[in-house]
Every structure is written in C-alpha cells, then in structure tokens.
Amino acid sequence: MRWGSMIKRKACFIVVILPCAAVYYCLKFTFRAVEETLDVVYTARQQHRVKTRKRPKSKPLAVVPSVSKSKSKGTPASPPTKTSFLHLPPEIRLMIYRLVLGGPAIMQVRPTYSVRGPRPDAWASRQGIRDDADEPSKALRLTIGLGGSPLRQLVSPPRAGCVVYGCVSQLICGETHYLGLTRYRRDEMVYYTDLMRTSRVVYVEALDLLYAEHTISLFGVEMARYFCRNASPEGMKRVRFAHVALIIPSSSWSSPLHKRSVKDSMKLLRDSLPHLQQLDVEVAVVWGQPKNAGRFWSWLTGDGVLGQFGGLEKFVLKASAYVPFTRRPYGNWAAWTPQYELLESWDDGEYQALKARVTSLDEAVVSS
C-alpha cells in the first residue's frame, strides 16, 4: 500500500513538477541572457556615440544689432506694429530664463541626456565645488560598486527575489538627487534647453545661466572629451565650476595608453575652459592600492596631469583606493557600496604645494 502511494507521488512529481521547474529555469536563464545581451548592445552604442559624436560647425555669435534709429532727425520713429518676446526688458527676460532653466545647480553630463540636481544647502553662495573636509563621493562608490562606468551611469542592484531596486538617483558631486532635463507630453519629449533654439539673441542671453552658474560634473575622461567636443564653444568659455571624477585601474594605470589618455583629456579640459575658477578632481583607484604608489602620486600631481592647470581660484583633490569586495554583495544599496582608504603615497605637504601652484596667477600666465 505504502509502496504504491510512494510510486504515485514520484510519478506525479516527474509528470507535473519537473516540467514546470524546467520551464521556469529555461525562462529565467533566457531572460537573463537577453538582459545581458541588451546591456552589451547598449554599452556598445554609448561607446560609439561618445567616440564619434561631435558638434556640427556653426557660425560664431555675432554682436546683436541695436534698434535702428530714424533716418531723419526731424521725423520721429514710428512705433512698432508688432511686439515679441525680445521687446520685453532684459530683466524680465532673465527672470523667465531662470524659471525655465532653474537656478545654480550641478549638471552631470551623460552620453544621452544630462541630469541635474541642486547644490547642497551647506554650500556658500559662490561655492561651486566641494571642500577638502568633505568625504569622497558615496554615489560614485556605489555606481562603481554596481559595475557602472562613464558610459553607463544609471545602475541598480540586481533583483533579490521579487524585490526590484531602482537606479542610483544621486549625483556624484554634491550627493543630491538628480532631476531629468526633460518634460513629457503625449506626442513629444521637450527639453528645457530647447528655449535656446528660439533665436540667437535668446541663445546668447541664456548661456550664462546654463554654463556660468552651473557646476559641470564629468564622470571619467570619456565624459570630459565628450563634453569638450559637443558643448557650445561660447558656453565653455563661460564655465567657472567643474568637477571631474577619474576612474583609474590600480594594476594598469602605468600603461602608456592610459597615461596618455588621462593627460590629453586634462589638457583638452584646460584649453576648452579658459575661464575656469574652481576645479574639483576626485580620483578613484579600482581596486586596491595602485602599483608603485610613489610613482603614481608623482604622475598624478605632476605637470602632465593636474599640475598643468593654473590661475584657479579654488582647487580640491580627493584620491581614494576602493577596497575590493571579499565576496559578492547581495541585497540593498549599502551592500554594494565599497569601502575606501586613503592613498598610501598621499602627502599633505605636496598636495598643498600643488594647490598653491595651480591657484597662482603666475601659473595662469605661463599656461596661457
């Protein structure tokens, strides 16, 4: 009797449970393979976009002509028959630009569309970057811990059963939550910066709000090159605050290709932002302390990388070595945030000397 019931249960398990389990695992691994394939395709497309996209040629901004005067002094000028947005006083137009573009904020550049967020409340009115006392970016550590990169800045922890986590929504500079630069309609996507496409006059007047009052945050040398190749030439001349995160591998930092890439990107950034006043550089070494730490520090602070800047009002450098995970994280956000430690070769005296050198007005004359 028992033997017969046991055989029936086994037969039921084989006939019903095993096929269902096989279908479940087939679908699970199929969906996972599809997600990985789409992720590879997305990364390849972003990499191609960053390498190839470049702003089209355009005419330089001309001086806006003044209102034409009457040809004959005796005859008064006839009143205009039509009015437009440009007939408003400049002060009112500036208020409208601020309502559309927002006030001073942090702008994090991405390959597709950039994101922005407010500056921390603790910052002073003229402060555009962090201070030496501030800790390294936790959002940057989390993004790197989750496998993010300059080409893939929006990342999230993997699913934990039925729990699905959202993307990282904090800026790597300032730690504030970001907002998109678009608003959606039923039939189209509208960018707030589309206001600048109205006319050349509006474009010129809004440049200062978009570039001079924002902190431009660049994730990696890829975004530094992408920004310099695609941003407005007139706008880049107005940039005053910049934050750059350099992701440097601990094992291959000394390769000639990598060193030349970092050096050329920093030179391009220096030449493209001639009126830069405040610069915040955060170096993240992944994973562990760099090989030949003394040589790494000398190369980083030398004239080839950070030492080539000059004439700055404020300069901040944060350099950390990310500690590798002892085991694969699992669960919430905190589990994917790697620990960090100060570089073994960090020297406060040399850092202060570098700070004094790049904030010296004499260095501005030499670099120009």
pLDDT digits (tens, 9 = 90+) for 295-336: 999 999 999 999 999 999 999 999 999 999 988 888 788 899
Asked if pLDDT for residue 201 goes beyond 70, the answer is yes
pLDDT digits (tens, 9 = 90+) for 22-45: 777 777 677 677 777 777 777 777
Token pair for 230: 């695609």
Question: Quick one: which of 185, 234, 228 has its CA closest to 211?
Answer: 234
- Compute the distance between CA of residue 3 and CA of residue 334 in angstroms, rounded to an integer: 52
- Residue entry with tokens 């496409």: 197
Residue 330 Cα distances to 149, 155, 314, 334, angstroms: 20, 15, 40, 10
pTM of the model: 0.81
- Compute the distance between CA of residue 293 and CA of residue 344 in angstroms, rounded to an integer: 7
Average pLDDT over the chain, rounded to an integer: 84
pLDDT at position 368 is 47
What's the whole-number mean pLDDT along residues 257-264? 95
Torsion of the alpha carbons at 64, 67, 69 and 75, rounded to the nearest 10: 170
Work out whether the CA dihedral 188, 194, 197, 202 comes out positive or negative.
Answer: positive
Residues recorded for the chain? 368
pLDDT at position 79 is 59
pLDDT at position 60 is 65
pLDDT digits (tens, 9 = 90+) for 95-125: 888 888 888 999 999 988 889 999 999 999 8
